[in-house]
Amino acid sequence: MVELRYLKYFLAVAETGSFTRAAADCFVAQSALSQQVARLEGEVGARLFHRTSRSVRLTAAGELLVPLARRILAEVDDARAELDALTGLRRGRLRLGLIQTAGGATDVAAVLGEYRRRYPGIELHVRTAPSAEMVAAVAEGTLDLAVVGLVADRATTAGLVRQVLARDPLVAVVPGAHPLAGRARIALTELAGAAGEYPTLIQGARGTGLRHQVEAAFARAGLAADQSFEIGQIHDMVRLAAAGVGITVVPRSAVRGPGSCESLTTGAAVLALTDRQAVNEVSVVHDAARLSPAGAAFLAVLGTGRVD
């Protein structure tokens, strides 16, 4: 019978493309991990990886085993969670995906703090990635749920349940010397027409809900959003705009209100947009068919985790 740790180590190598990185992620010696993978290959009777001095690639047998291994490990986790539920939520694991949490109508940091207080025995595994990537991970079963910034169709296409947490209007942040800096509200066509010495649009990372919403807003205005300047963190986008590098478009909660980076807007102007569809929608997504008790408990805490 194949041992579960063989499958765990096999997936770690498949996902990292490296025995060295997989061993580090699994907190085992590389030699031990290599031996376990070799034993798995002996059990299944096929080579799972093409190994060279420079690369590690899956064989056809390895490609076939990846989804099966993920399903087996997910089902074992589900079984453990169901057994935990019989005696109360005293142990288990929550695999959570999070977008950037600064600002917003839902204080996810506070929700996590409350969750930790209520369920100290639950092991938290939290990752931050582009929203599209995290939705795929929930659909695949490698995340229990995720707080993402996506419009409805992406989560629905993946067959997930989606609950809207907040709808956050987008605003433009421009340098203080920008010709439109004195305005309260503008159209994106005006922003493009008055670009002058600030032609650069500072964009968020590809695959994020914010990037999707900003580009959709530019498309509605009949404009092509600049693709040349990409930054992973919202606060860096705001700082660069304030420093005169260019202009940016971010959720209003990122620059106004509790938990925001409002202090970074010194020397910049924050302008509302006339486009009422220009909204960053934050949702939590999960697969109802395999939501663990730990995940259900997080949803319950999240339902009371809003702040005014």
Question: What would the pLDDT profile of 114-150 be if each residue is shown by its tens digit?
Answer: 999 988 888 899 998 888 888 888 988 889 999 988 7
Q: Indicate left, alpha or beta for 28 from its phi (over 0: left) and psi (-120 to 50: alpha).
A: beta
Tell me the percentage of the chain whose pLDDT exceeds 70.
87
* Position 304 confidence tier, pLDDT thresholds 50, 70, 90: very low
Highest mean pLDDT among 18-32, 77-91, 103-117: 18-32
* Greater model confidence, 48 or 255: 48
Structure token pair of residue 115? 């969750």
* Position 286 confidence tier, pLDDT thresholds 50, 70, 90: very high
pLDDT of residue 91: 73
How many whole angstroms separate alpha carbon 178 and alpha carbon 188?
Answer: 14
Question: What would the pLDDT profile of 63-100 be if each residue is shown by its tens digit?
Answer: 999 999 998 888 887 777 666 655 556 677 899 998 87
Q: Whose structure tokens read 């030699």?
A: 31
Q: Average pLDDT of the chain?
A: 84
How many whole angstroms separate alpha carbon 164 and alpha carbon 186?
Answer: 27
Asked which of 27-31, 44-48, 106-110 is least confident by mean pLDDT, the reply is: 106-110
* Greater model confidence, 83 or 178: 178
* Position 258 confidence tier, pLDDT thresholds 50, 70, 90: low
Q: Whose structure tokens read 């939590």?
A: 284
Instruction: Give yes or no for a contact between 97 and 286, defined as CB atoms under 8 angstroms apart.
Output: no
* pLDDT surpasses 50 at 307: no
DSSP track, 8-65: HHHHHHHHHS-HHHHHHHHTS-HHHHHHHHHHHHHHHTS--EEE-SS-EEE-HHHHHH
Strands of the chain, DSSP E: 49-51, 56-58, 92-98, 122-128, 145-148, 161-175, 185-186, 201-203, 229-230, 247-251, 268-273, 279-286
* Greater model confidence, 92 or 236: 236
Structure token pair of residue 15? 């996902």
Q: Which of 252, 299, 308 is nearest to 111 (CA)?
A: 299
Number of H helices and E strands in the chain, helices first, is: 11, 12
How many whole angstroms separate alpha carbon 132 and alpha carbon 92?
Answer: 26
* Greater model confidence, 85 or 267: 267
Cβ contacts of 153 within 8 Å, gap of 6 or more: none
How many whole angstroms separate alpha carbon 64 and alpha carbon 53?
Answer: 24
Q: Which of 172, 184, 151, 195 is nearest to 255 (CA)?
A: 172
How many whole angstroms separate alpha carbon 88 and alpha carbon 265?
Answer: 47
Amino acid identity of residue 143, one-letter, is L
pLDDT of residue 20: 92
pLDDT of residue 305: 40
- Angle subtended at Cα 221 by Cα 217 and Cα 223, rounded to the nearest 5 degrees: 90
Structure token pair of residue 121? 């025995």
* pLDDT surpasses 90 at 48: yes
